[in-house]
Amino acid sequence: MKLKALYEEIKSGTFQMYHGGSRWSTSPEIRPSKVGRYEGGPGIYLTNNYETARKYAKGGNVVQLVDIRSAFTDLNSVRVTLSELISFVNNIQGMKKKKEIISDLNRVSARTQKLDIPLEVLNNLIVNWEAGSGSVGVQVAEYFVSKGVDATIQDQSGDEFWLVVFNPKIIINYEVVDPKKLSVDNYILPRP
């Protein structure tokens, strides 16, 4: 299914996904990530595939079933001026590859002949230049939220998709999954 069709399906109510990792003792939050551990940008990673979540839950972690508010703003739908993006990149503390990211932002603007750029482009550059680890990733997620962005959907292989959450407030509820109570039918959650 194309991403645009998926966005159209997720319009109201809630839907469920899995999170594999450490148990949230209070409310979910964006945590600093290690280099190479943010394939879709800095955020909370959710999947509709239980087996994928279970892989991330190894080493004493858990799989949680998460309820997400369907009415969220996707990263792909928000544009910001080139000058603001350059200012943000220049001012972020600890970001590596600033010059390269700014150069790429300028190239995108020149190629498209637009002075506003989708935030998805900045996210992709941060991932490609491996510049979002540690506290930088937290700052980037906070910037996205300040621009009204909540999350982004990424298709994976087959029926699997991920939701990278920048704004934890769209997570309404979560509970640890008891694998003994999980049926084969629930291993891959349906698309909302």
Partners of 39 in the beta sheet?
Answer: 41
Whether the predicted pLDDT of 12 surpasses 60: no
Task: Give pLDDT tens digits for 14-63.
Answer: 999 999 998 888 889 998 887 766 677 889 999 999 999 999 998 888 99
Domains along the chain with CATH numbers: 3-33+40-73+151-179 (3.20.170), 75-146 (no CATH)
Pair 121, 78: CB distance under 8 Å: no
